[in-house]
Amino acid sequence: MIRQGFSLVALTTGLMVASGVWAESGYTMDDPNIAVSYEEDGRYFTEDDVPTFNVTDDGKVDWLTFSGFRRYHSECHVCHGPDGEGSTYAPALKKSALDMDYYDFLDVVTNGRQRVDAADNSVMPAFGTNLNVMCYLDDIYVYLKARGMEAVPRGRPGSKEAKSDAIREAENACMGT
Amino acid sequence: MKSLKYLTSVLAICSATGALANADLQSQIDNPAQWAIQTGDYENQRYSELAQINADNVGDMQVAWTFSTGVLRGHEGSPLVVGDVMYVHTPFPNTVYALDLTQEGKIIWKYEPKQDPNVIPVMCCDTVNRGVAYADGKIFLHQADTTVVALDANTGEALWSVKNGDPSKGETNTATVMPVKDKVIVGISGGEFGVRGSVTAYNMEDGSLAWRAYSMGPDSDILFDPDTTTHLGQPVGADSGTNTWEGDQWMIGGGTTWGWYSYDAEADLIYYGTGNPSTWNPAQRPGDNRWSMTIMARDPDDGMAKWVYQMTPHDEWDYDGINEMILTDQEIDGAIRPLLTHFDRNGLAYTLDRVTGELILAEKFDPAVNWTTGVDMDPNSETYGRPAVVAAYSTEQNGEDVNSTGICPAALGSKDQQPASYSPKTELFYVPTNHVCMDYEPFRVSYTAGQPYVGATLAMYPAPDSHGGMGNFIAWDNIAGEIKWSIPEQFSVWSGALATAGDVVFYGTLEGYLKAVSADTGEELYRFKTPSGIIGNVMTYEQAGKQYVAVLSGVGGWAGIGLAAGLTNPNDGLGAVGGYSALSDYTALGGQLTVFTLPD
């Protein structure tokens, strides 16, 4: 399992070096918060069991990254801008997903956060009751991480892994369909 | 000659029916030294008789004074000027300033409402506000949290306030209000949150509710008479607000009412448009979804609808119908007709008879528009008045989970709320437009009160095979249905235009330029770069015998979302060089009023 993960990392790292994005994010593909350690039923995880993205050398993304692209642009994009790039008033989440701890990220999405004072009128709402967000939290998170590393370019991912049965079952259970 | 005729007919209307409009406001509007209503006049023409600044001397214009609003969000709308006082509003927290124009803008009073900041993220697309209204010595502010408050224009003291909606359900406000007679007409936002849109009239004296008309629902909710309310000349029949919806879906049906309102005192009708049906996934709401995407003509006294016209039945692209209705009296085939001209998000410009609701013309005002081949204009046809949808660009026909590509215009429309102007001298409309296309993939979403209810993924990019920019500023002939001239712009033009008797048209750009162009040719006569991108509307007034032009800067709104980082362009390499640039390369957040005049 771990071995397979390493080979995946090596491949994607090679890709990243070629497109020269090291400097922009400040992270490398072998960062323990990014590197794939193992795969389980179509989901990818770091050695700390934190969800992460997987992009093959021919640009195929894992299902969650693709699904996160769609859910992000339905739920988050009207404030945070296309492709996690940020807007005139809301931060670029492609950076936040790398800079923030996974569990902090979940906390802010679930419970919201406010920064309101003389200079700021910045409010992140609580999405805790929104199934369209909560059932796809990991999807959105890994998509934004992939964007932060520029492992997927702006726009719609070109090709994707198939949706695994486990992911489909979990989605149906969460959405209540 | 035509302009003379126009003037006399307007005078006749005013004198004959002055008692019908709000008499105080109408008299303030009639004084061209003032800017007493956001839309310039009840007709929404945004035209001023002032001509001291004109096509010959506008090139000499200079900044007279500036004012910082203290807020760094998108600044839509414009100041008002009534007497010697200018009223300036801001985005959330919706501060209002009264400035003394005889003392270089000294602050007379400031009103800052206390609002729960939780309303901020419920506002789709930034915390914009399109300004205050004036009538009977009161300033009317419609806050983000849907509180409508009447302030004493002299002191800023709150006289009454009323809550129009519930932000915890996603009901918010971005629009101004329209004072008519003894009432204030008020809209609502929240189409992306499953809000059922409505228009409400409050009594100006005390803020008590006069009537409320929903956009969909039972006849008693939508204030339709099945026999006398007409759609394209035919009675709408019973239950027209529910029988094109499946089950109870109309209860979260959208059709919000956040645009501009106009009023014809002679016909005694108010006009406005309704927004998109919720959700953006058309497969989840089968049917025509009436009366979303509809031009409404209602009686201001009781709210009853006289006629309606649904422009985009069963929306598949988020083409809200809320843009302004501009009222003009113009000659068609030898007869002066009472017209209503509307530039819709869907890329079609409509000319209707505003008394009867007859559809006279519907033509594309951007050649890039491709989702439809046009509107069926044959009254005997079964599909009379309906746009013919091109299958390749139908997100309904392509289905859920399918990415429909190359649709023009994008969801922000060929034109959004940024209001156009009309000059009776040229009989042309001056229209700020977007030149942006999109990919659109709808998918299933579940509804939770107060949470986004969108259900589609969008990617937007400059119109392919064009000039590479994302906007145009055009002059439109509403009788011939033709573009007279078109100025390509690098970014969407998100600023309201102003036309004047000085043969000049003003507008702002997202980079922050205030531009003045010739009303006849579109030739650029003046430009000045203000501190931030302009999404506000240009206005003009006269003070102590001198004409001024003013505009709010402060980039944001829908434009600040998509354009801040630059739009994605899947057609890389097609030569659309300018369009790739991000707005953030040109401007940063701001909140400033810039006032221009001629040097002494």
Compute CA distances B282 → B243, B248, B279, B443, B578, whole Å: 17, 16, 7, 9, 34
Q: Which residue of B has its CA nearest to A127?
A: B451
Tell me which residues of B are annotated as active site: 318
Per-residue pLDDT for B546 more than 60?
A: yes
Q: Is the alpha carbon torsion for A78, A79, A84, A86 positive or negative?
A: positive
Instruction: Name the pairing type of β-strands B387-389 and B47-48.
Output: unpaired
Q: What percent of chain B has pLDDT over 70?
A: 93
Calculate what percentage of chain B has a pLDDT beyond 90: 82
Tracing tokens 């209002």 back to the chain, one arrives at: B96
In the prediction, which pLDDT does B245 show? 98
Q: Residue B61: is its pLDDT beyond 70?
A: yes
Residue A8: what pLDDT? 36
Among the four given CATH numbers 1.10.760.10, 3.60.15.10, 3.30.70.270, 3.90.1150.10, the one describing domain A2-165: 1.10.760.10
Using the predicted structure, report yes or no on whether residue A89 has a pLDDT greater than 60.
yes
What does CATH list as the number for B24-597? Answer: 2.140.10.10
Report CA torsion sign: A99, A25, A52, A134: positive
Mean pLDDT of chain B: 92
> How close is the nearest chain A Cα to the Cα of B25, in Å?
34
Q: A-contacting residues of B 500-529, CB under 8 Å? A: none
- Residue A17 pLDDT more than 60? no
Peptide bond into B291 cis (omega under 30): yes
Q: Across residues B559-579, what is the average pLDDT? A: 56
pLDDT score recorded for residue B289: 98
Q: Give the chain B residue whose CA is nearest to the CA of A129.
A: B448
Which is nearest to B466 in space by CA: B565, B320, B569?
Answer: B569
Burial of B391 (0-12, 13-18, 19+ CB in 10 A): exposed
Please give, rounded to a whole number of angstroms, the shortest distance from the CA of B240 to a CA of chain A.
30
Instruction: Express each pLDDT in B305-315 by its tens digit.
Output: 999 999 999 99
User: Which pLDDT band holds residue A176 (cuts at 50, 70, 90)?
Assistant: confident
Q: Pick the closest to residue B347 from B315, B327, B379, B374 (CA basis).
A: B374
> Residue B389 above 90 pLDDT?
yes
Mean pLDDT of B410-418: 95
Asked if B71's CB is within 8 angstroms of A78's CB, the reply is no
DSSP-based three-state secondary structure for B14: helix
Instruction: Give a three-class secondary structure readout of B449-490.
Output: CCCCCCCEEEEEEECCCCCCCCEEEEEEECCCCEEEEEEEEC
pLDDT band with cut points at 50, 70 and 90 for residue B580: low
Per-residue pLDDT band at B582 (split at 50, 70, 90): confident
DSSP-derived 3-state class of residue B419: coil
Looking at residue B450, its pLDDT comes to 81
> B311 — phi, psi (to 5°)?
-80, -45
DSSP secondary structure, B505-552, as one string: EEEE-TTSEEEEEETTT--EEEEEE-SS---SB-EEEEETTEEEEEEE
- Do the chains contact at B561 and A123, CB–CB below 8 Å? no
**A174 has a chain B CB within 8 A of its CB:** no
pTM: 0.90
**pLDDT at position B581:** 66
Worst-scoring range by mean pLDDT, A1-15, B142-156, B447-461, B536-550? A1-15
**Could you say which residues from 90 to 149 on chain B have a Cβ atom under 8 Å away from some Cβ of chain A?**
91-93, 117-118, 120-122, 124-127
Torsion angle defined by CA atoms of residues B143, B145, B146 and B147, in that order, rounded to the nearest 10 degrees: -70
The per-residue pLDDT for B20 is 55
Contacts of B176 (CB under 8 A, 6+ apart): B38, B77, B129, B130, B131, B132, B133, B142, B260
- pLDDT class of B577 with cuts at 50, 70, 90: very low
Lowest mean pLDDT among A6-20, B116-130, B475-489, B533-547: A6-20
Is 90 exceeded by the pLDDT of residue B453? no
pLDDT exceeds 70 at position B251: yes
**In this predicted model, what pLDDT tens digit does every residue of A114-169 receive, in sequence order?**
988 777 778 899 999 999 999 999 999 999 999 999 999 988 898 999 999 999 99
**pLDDT tens by residue, B257-295:** 999 999 999 999 999 999 999 889 999 999 999 999 999
Q: Is residue B97 pLDDT above 50, yes or no?
A: yes
> Tokens standing for A172?
């149906």
* Residue B439 main-chain phi, psi, to 5 deg: -105, 145
Distance CA B251, CA A100 (A): 39
Q: Which residues pair with residue B389 across a beta bridge?
A: B372
Q: At a CB cut-off of 8 Å and minimum separation 6, what does B12 contact?
A: none
> What residues contact residue B522 under an 8 Å CB cut-off, 6+ apart?
B473, B475, B485, B486, B487
Q: What is the mean pLDDT of residues B314-341?
A: 97
In order, the DSSP letters of B128-150 are: -----EEETTEEEEE-TTSEEEE
Q: Is the pLDDT of residue A47 over 70?
A: yes
Paired tokens of B374: 């046009």
Q: Residue B21: its pLDDT value, please?
A: 63
Distance (Å) from the alpha carbon of B150 to chain A's nearest alpha carbon: 24
**Token pair 């209307």 is at which residue?**
B13
The ipTM estimated for the assembled molecules is: 0.76
> Please, what sign has the CA dihedral across residues B373, B377, B382, B385?
positive
pLDDT band at B85 (very low <50, low <70, confident <90, very high): very high
How many Å apart are CA B488 and CA A139, to the nearest integer?
A: 40
- Tokens 């002299």 correspond to B154
pLDDT band at B575 (very low <50, low <70, confident <90, very high): very low
* Continuous H helices in B224-298: none
Check pLDDT > 90 for residue B15.
no
Question: Given this model, what pLDDT does residue B11 score?
Answer: 44
Residues of A in contact with B460 (CB under 8 A): 82
Indicate if the pLDDT at residue A10 is higher than 90: no
DSSP-assigned beta bridge partners for residue B139: B134, B151
For chain B, what are the domain ranges? 24-597
Q: How do the domains of chain A map onto residue ranges?
A: 2-165
The answer, yes or no, to whether the previous bond of B279 is cis (omega within 30 of 0) is yes
Dump pLDDT digits (tens) for A48-69: 999 999 999 999 999 999 999 9
Q: Return binding residues of B for pyrroloquinoline quinone.
A: 76, 130, 174, 256
Answer whether B261's CB lies under 8 Å from B342's CB: no
- pLDDT tens string B136-173: 999 999 999 999 999 999 999 999 999 999 999 999 99
Q: What is the pLDDT of residue B568?
A: 57
Q: How many Å apart are CA B560 and CA A145, to the nearest integer?
A: 23
Rg (CA), chain B: 22
